[in-house]
Amino acid sequence: MSTTAPERADPGRNAALAAVLLAGTVVALTVGVYAKLHEPARRPLFTLGFSGMLQMKAWLTTFAAALLIIQLVTALWMWGRLPGAGHAPGWAALLHRWSGSAAFVLTLPVAFHCIWALGFATVGARVVIHGLAGCVFYGAYTSKMLGLRTRTLPGWTLPVFGGLVLASLVAVWLTASLWFFTRSGVPLT
Ligand code: HEM
């Protein structure tokens, strides 16, 4: 007969998890609903030295997606899942934090132009998946940031939120930047 005590449901922990999930859902829905309801401006507000809005968005998203490689490697290292790498040094957490913050900041001017200038378009599967992935990205990022500061959450939550942030940005890159770079007849920079 097993002598292990059954794991008790912890109401405080469940409430914290529900609050973090709710905050992420509210952010994702707010982004999506605003993008759908407002009239797209159909022009850029700035292009940051790029030749056009598409070019700026495609490249900034690519820089953000490239930083995800650092995010993934440092996350695996901190969680002891990087084969043969041993214990992660203190700077791995710092690198994770700053590369993640930089990637997030890079997405902001891009998403602003998506939401404000284009809105939530439904002209095909790629574009719909792109809009949904963009909304999920900001929702998952919200939940992850709150999760980092909520000590009572179950251990699985941070890797799951982090994985969702990563996967949604990869989906955004595939459905927008990769699509843009593989189109012919448009200047790349
Ligand atoms: C992480 C956030 C996001 C990033 C990094 C991102 C990135 C991009 C990029 C690089 C493009 C291609 C350039 C262009 O067509 O202008 C694009 C297009 C677009 N984005 Fe986003 N996006 C994000 C979120 C969103 C959201 C939240 C929405 C709407 C809910 C959205 C809607 C669109 C639309 C409608 C297009 C045009 C697609 C087409 O017609 O091909 N994006 N995005």
**In the chain, what are the domain boundaries?**
12-181
Alpha-carbon distance of 138 to 145, in angstroms, equals 11
CA-132 nearest atom, ligand 1 = 30
CA-35 nearest atom, ligand 1 = 30
What does pTM read for this prediction? 0.93
CA-118 nearest atom, ligand 1 = 35
Evaluate if residue 2 carries a pLDDT over 60: no
What pLDDT is recorded for position 13? 84
Tell me the pLDDT tens digit for each residue of 27-62: 999 999 999 999 999 999 999 999 999 999 999 999
Residues 76-83, mean pLDDT to the nearest whole number: 93
Name the DSSP letter for residue 4. Answer: P
Give, using CA atoms, the residue closest to atom 4 of ligand 1. Answer: 111
Average model confidence (pLDDT) across the chain:
93
Alpha-carbon radius of gyration of the chain: 19
Q: Which residues contact 70 (CB under 8 A, 6 or more apart)?
A: 95, 96, 99
Structure-token match 């790029």, residue found = 50
| % of the chain exceeding 70 in pLDDT | 95
What pLDDT is recorded for position 6? 53
Quote the distance between the C-alpha of residue 74 and its chain's center: 16
Backbone φ and ψ for 10, nearest 5 degrees, come out as -110, 110
- Write out residues with Cβ below 6 Å of ligand 1: 31-32, 35, 53-54, 57-58, 61, 107, 110-111, 114-115, 118, 120-121, 127, 130-131, 134-135, 137, 169, 172, 176-177, 180
Tell me the pLDDT tens digit for each residue of 108-135: 999 999 999 999 999 999 999 999 999 9
Evaluate if residue 1 carries a pLDDT over 90: no
pLDDT tier for residue 3 given thresholds of 50, 70 and 90? very low
